[in-house]
Structure 1
């Protein structure tokens, strides 16, 4: 990474006992890979927790602090050095969001236990999650808003990542840029995938699916979101 690119790492985070080990490992990982880069933890106070809202807030913090690029890193996902650095470099000028991986390794309980015992990440038991688009985003603030940011009506466990990908494809005319490498998702207690918030999220996601490829419909959906939430 050149010294000309100013980066900020924003980690969505709300304390939960089952997630502490993964959270601490994630913060330590970014301190190791990006020494001297500011790391902030973000919680918007939504109930249930709103990952999309935290990511949007992380981008606003990057703007406020004069960063060229923001790394939006989930509090359980560890990137590799070279793909991360390449993504930061590329995101500063490409006009697209970058993903610092081509393979998403979910370590689950057994792989996470191996990692905690000192087994190198690339040797830990894992499940490869095909076509993953979550975990770590690297973007300029301008690019994030150009593809609509993420929809803060997605609360709790929700498909905000895939809805965002549909926006990126539709509004920027491209897939996110991927960099050869892996990210490693550590195990923790899973969020509930039932109840009113989940059902609303599934219905909202279907609306993004329906608007896929239609720029006018997508922009209308984003405008509706802004009006509903009272944000720009």
Structure 2
């Protein structure tokens, strides 16, 4: 069986450590054959898109990779299904149809050892497109990956989803299951970087459904490697 690498964008901050440790324990207990490694691709402000892109750079083009945020725990059955399908589909796979944010109460329960499915839930997001991705580098490069001009927090995942739909001709494939987002100190979503991200997001919305316009937008910052 091919080795599956799990890429975790990670820069340590005190409030995030318990969630990341919970994620590490989950993989050790449920999918010990998966190899987890962290990536921090930037010296300045933390850039999720850059970390995700850089994490795939040392992986074989057709190897399956899980890109897993440090605070988000998947379910094993859905993740295994996504890994099996992503090898040949030419699309990115999301191993969930329900995104559960546990909040402080549910996170405390999870860290104390309660089964994730039984933890308190503060918010459920059916349309989420972040947290855990399953792909091959070839598929990721074919639609440009994620735009590294999104700095700080906000919008990089939503813009990526639109680019995927437009350039690959289909939405990412979802597998029935849940992911559980653990709580930590919230990042500030305001200021110059956030405003710039919002403006860039509007450009992605404007290019939605137009492959030529989207290809031009993506090509402003990265070479799109067509499979």
Scaled by the length of structure 2, the TM-score of the pair is 0.94
CA distance in 1, matches of 2:62, 2:20: 23
- CA contact 2:3–2:33 (8 Å) conserved in 1: no
Structure 2 segments unaligned to the other structure (5+ residues): none
> Per-residue deviation at 1:61?
2.4
Asked whether the equivalents of residues 74 and 135 of structure 1 are also in contact (C-alpha less than 8 Å), the reply is: yes
Runs of 4+ aligned structure 1 residues displaced above 3 Å come to: none
What is residue 37 of structure 1 aligned with on the other side? 34
Instruction: Provide the residue aligned with 1:55 in structure 2.
Output: 52
1:142 to 138, 141, 152: 138
After TM superposition, the score normalised by the length of structure 1 is 0.92
Alignment of 1:117 with 2:112, yes or no, is yes
State the number of aligned residues: 224
Pair 128,173 (structure 1): closer, same or farther in 2 beyond 3 Å = same
Q: For residues 203-214 of structure 1, what are the structure 2 equivalents within 5 Å? A: 203-214=199-210
Write the distance in 1 (CA, Å) between the matches of 2:116 and 2:222.
40
State the partner residue of 2:185: 189
Q: Is the 8 A contact 1:7 1:67 kept in 2?
A: no
Structure 1: runs of 5+ lacking an equivalent: none
- 1:59 and 1:70 in contact (8 A); partners too: yes
Please say which of residues 40-49 and 104-113 is displaced more in the overlay.
40-49
